[in-house]
């Protein structure tokens, strides 16, 4: 079975890196035409049409208004173009609507389930990077979740060894406890959890303290999966500073706005180091 790395307009960089590891597998782009009215038409390469092929399709869906439809249309085109018994593995570095993993208020959509149902017939496997809620993997027939734990660990050891003494790991909420617990174990550090709760009608987040005492002068290591507006994070960091935290190292898997670090975090930039994977 022929193998191809196929990539959309947001997947080129990763596709090129992957091809360095597997030089025998060609990396080919999807030709996505954009019309004057904003409509798009992704056209898959002739190398896959009518052939039995194993494809890894790389396409980030951020921002979703631009890239999610391309993602859907490309998968639909592949389903109609490939020979029967071909295999499609999907790798979206950022997966839109991953946080809409349940119906939180009456009348709201179960967005992630609808997306999962829409692509499950076509896709053999979908590979996520640090999905917001690991339980959401059960919505897909076959899915894997990759955590950049070793990447963060090695980078911290090489570049922030001076801050890894007198260290405390703080999870930004209960949902992120599992991965922050892994970090605490790697650095043999105590673990605390910020107690925050969201009002699902207003969207407002309130903080109710910290589970696990912060000692004055401790350095803080915190890992969150997504940083969007940065407003909630800023509240949490201010609480940690008030409790006596020294330096704060923030790990972020998906930073969806490059303005955050400049605008929001700059308010406490002397105390915060932000490490981002994308």
Structure confidence by residue, pLDDT tens digits, 245-262: 999 999 999 977 654 555
Domain housing 228 = 149-276
Residue 204: CB atoms within 10 Å: 10
What would the pLDDT profile of 172-225 be if each residue is shown by its tens digit? 988 899 999 999 999 999 999 998 776 666 666 777 678 888 899 999 999 999
**Paired strand residues for 253:** none
pLDDT at 98 over 70: yes
Q: From CA 221, how far away is CA 156, in angstroms rounded?
A: 10
173 in the same domain as 124: no
What does the DSSP assignment read for 116-147? HHHHHTT-SEEEEES-S-GGGGGGSSSEEEE-
At residue 270, the pLDDT reads 57
Q: From CA 197, how far away is CA 173, in angstroms rounded?
A: 8
6 in the same domain as 139: yes
63 in the same domain as 38: yes
96 in the same domain as 224: no
162 in the same domain as 139: no
Helix, strand counts (H, E) of the chain = 7, 14
113 in the same domain as 214: no
Pick the last residue of a domain from 128, 146, 164: 146
pLDDT at 264 over 60: no
Q: From CA 122, how far away is CA 133, in angstroms rounded?
A: 23
pLDDT at 51 over 80: yes
Q: From CA 104, how far away is CA 98, in angstroms rounded?
A: 14
162 in the same domain as 226: yes
118 in the same domain as 18: yes
The DSSP element (H or E) to which 212 belongs, if any, is: none
CB-CB contact of 151 with 251 (8 Å): no
At residue 271, the pLDDT reads 64
pLDDT band at 121 (very low <50, low <70, confident <90, very high): confident
Pick the last residue of a domain from 146, 166, 195: 146
pTM of the model: 0.89
Pick the last residue of a domain from 112, 146, 180: 146
At residue 266, the pLDDT reads 53
| Backbone CA torsion sign across 58, 183, 213, 273 | negative
CATH number at residue 106: 3.40.50.2020
Long-range contacts of 27-33 (CB under 8 A, 24+ apart): 28/4, 30/6, 30/59, 30/70, 30/74, 32/8, 32/70, 32/74
| Weakest mean pLDDT among 14-18, 55-59, 263-267 | 263-267
**How long, in residues, is the chain?**
278
Q: Among all chains, which residue has been given the structure tokens 């999907």? A: 90
Q: How many domains does the chain have?
A: 2
221 in the same domain as 109: no
């Amino acid at each position: 079975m022929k193998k191809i790395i196929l990539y959309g307009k947001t997947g080129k960089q990763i596709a090129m890196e992957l091809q360095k590891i597997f030089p025998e597998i060609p990396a080919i782009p999807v030709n996505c035409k954009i019309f004057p009215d904003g409509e798009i038409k992704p056209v898959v390469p002739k190398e896959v049409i009518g052939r039995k092929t194993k494809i890894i399709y790389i396409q980030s869906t951020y921002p979703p208004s631009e890239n999610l439809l391309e993602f859907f249309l490309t998968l639909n085109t592949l389903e109609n173009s490939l020979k029967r018994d071909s295999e499609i593995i999907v790798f979206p570095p950022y997966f839109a609507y991953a946080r809409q993993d349940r119906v939180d208020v009456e009348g709201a959509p179960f967005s992630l389930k609808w997306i999962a149902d829409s692509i499950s017939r076509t896709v053999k496997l979908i590979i996520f990077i640090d999905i917001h809620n690991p339980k959401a993997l059960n919505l897909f027939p076959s899915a894997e979740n990759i955590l950049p734990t070793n990447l963060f660990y090695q980078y911290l050891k090489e570049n922030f060894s001076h801050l890894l003494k007198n260290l405390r790991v703080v999870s930004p909420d209960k949902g992120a406890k599992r991965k922050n617990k892994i970090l605490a174990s790697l650095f043999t550090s105590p673990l605390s959890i910020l107690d925050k709760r969201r009002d699902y009608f207003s969207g407002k987040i309130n903080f109710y303290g910290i589970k696990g005492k912060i000692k004055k002068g401790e350095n803080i290591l915190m890992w969150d999966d997504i940083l969007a507006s940065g407003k909630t994070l800023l509240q949490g960091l201010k609480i940690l500073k008030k409790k006596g935290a020294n330096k704060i190292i923030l790990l972020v898997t998906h930073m969806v706005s490059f303005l955050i670090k400049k605008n929001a975090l700059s308010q406490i930039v002397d105390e915060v180091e932000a490490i981002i994977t994308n």
